[in-house]
Amino acid sequence: MAKHRIARVEEIPAGERKLVEVEGKSIGVFNVRGEYHALENVCCHRGGPVCEGNLFGRLESEVMPDKRTREYYATEGDVIACPWHGWEYEIPSGECLADRTYKLRKFPVVVEEGALRVVL
């Protein structure tokens, strides 16, 4: 395993991402509330460029005392939707929200002297 420098910390502020190529792999590096996550840019469905999709939060709902349903975003910026067919993944775990047995490949990210390095 080797560490590959992919960016300076300030290049990926909270809520942003950077796509990089490391050892022939396309990888999306995300900053979710100050934590970095690296996911292989290959969707579990049909191999689409999942890391290029839209970012949003996890939508949840609750039944109100008057029996109406209220929907709200329980999180912000930690879910990505594949641009090809919309499969949604939780970035910190890499898990598909509809079926958590599907999981994007993750790589460790370390911060050293202001630089982000992906380990693979």
CB of 23 to ligand FES, least distance (A): 22
- The answer to whether residue 96 forms part of the interface with ligand FES (CB under 6 A) is no
d(CA 105, CA 33): 21
- The answer to whether residue 48 forms part of the interface with ligand FES (CB under 6 A) is yes
Strands 115-119 and 109-112 turn out to be antiparallel
Of 6 and 44, CB closest to ligand FES = 44
Of 14 and 59, CB closest to ligand FES = 59
**Segment 69-88, which members bind ligand FES (CB under 6 A)?**
82, 84-87
Written as six digits, the tokens of 66 are: 């008057």
| Number of Cα atoms under 13 Å in the Cβ half of residue 106 | 16
Q: How many helices, marked H, and strands, marked E, lie in the chain?
A: 0, 12
- The answer to whether residue 43 forms part of the interface with ligand FES (CB under 6 A) is yes
